[in-house]
Structure 1
């Protein structure tokens, strides 16, 4: 998305209009309340908008919602055009948001790291240091120890 304020305002408006239209006016049973609009980005020339969404459900539900959004694209674009009042209504592209999946992957990685940390803690519970209790023995102490052994 461009850094200009007009593009930011239009992107926010598109997100709100699409979400409201999906909730209230689009009667496609594939969409229902399973889809959430998470973000919208628009190009600097205000011609193309990318709408990110998440779906609650499995892969079959995601495929159904994607097909439903693609079929409702014209209605949603018309609603955006009516609400925005711009000379050219941006074309809409719907992209599944990867954020929930990435968050799930991170949670799995954190769980594995906790398990490995716990394994290391259990393995080191009764272990001694490899070089003794004080591995930083001074040279004088070492010489004194060596003389006692002789």
Structure 2
């Protein structure tokens, strides 16, 4: 087997990014239209924020967040319970050679942004930032 001539820690390939975006968009549309035969899942409004796919295109990690950010664990459980049906629909719509296994994770981006904003708003940080501006 040929060695990968690129750095192993480089970012995802263009193909991974394209397939990930295709998966994200397709799952968003499926969940929005309510094409799943699970009434509990159809009742929830779920945002699919990102889909990361492994380099061998076998596993896709889907980052989701329910509307309002509440009941995240329930949403993940419902999606995992319906992963087979979502994968089947994805295979039909996306027409991929191999439809990846779907794994669902909560999207914590907004929580991290809120925490960063809170930290930057602290008096000690503002004082240090003001001191840094005076030195320039």
Residue 21 of structure 1 and its aligned partner are, at CA, apart by: 0.7
- Write the distance in 1 (CA, Å) between the matches of 2:92 and 2:28: 15
State which of 34, 48, 52 in structure 2 corresponds to 1:41: 52
- Write the distance in 1 (CA, Å) between the matches of 2:28 and 2:74: 17
Bigger Rg, structure 1 or 2: 1
Q: Flag the 1:100–1:32 CA change in 2: closer, same or farther, 3 A.
A: farther
Q: Secondary structure at the match of 1:45?
A: coil
Q: Secondary structure at the match of 2:122?
A: helix
TM-score under structure 1 length normalisation: 0.66
TM-score under structure 2 length normalisation: 0.72
Kindly report which structure 2 residues correspond to 1:1-150, keeping only aligned pairs within 5 A, or say none.
2-3=12-13, 5-24=14-33, 25-26=35-36, 27-30=38-41, 32-55=43-66, 56-58=68-70, 61-113=71-123, 117=127
Q: Flag the 1:37–1:114 CA change in 2: closer, same or farther, 3 A.
A: farther
Can you give the 5+ residue segments of structure 1 that lack an aligned partner in the other structure? 118-150
- The root-mean-square deviation of aligned C-alpha atoms, in Å, is 2.4
Residue 41 of structure 1 and its aligned partner are, at CA, apart by: 0.8
Figure out how many residues of one structure are paired with residues of the other and give that number: 115
Residue 6 of structure 1 and its aligned partner are, at CA, apart by: 2.5
Can you give the 5+ residue segments of structure 2 that lack an aligned partner in the other structure? 1-10, 128-136
What do the CA deviations read for 1:90-128 (whole angstroms, capped 9, x no partner)? 0011111120110111122123237974xxxxxxxxxxx
Residue 67 of structure 1 and its aligned partner are, at CA, apart by: 1.3
Q: Does the 8 Å contact 1:17/1:80 carry over to 2?
A: yes
Larger mean CA deviation between 90-99 and 28-37 belongs to 28-37
- Write the distance in 2 (CA, Å) between the matches of 1:31 and 1:107: 34
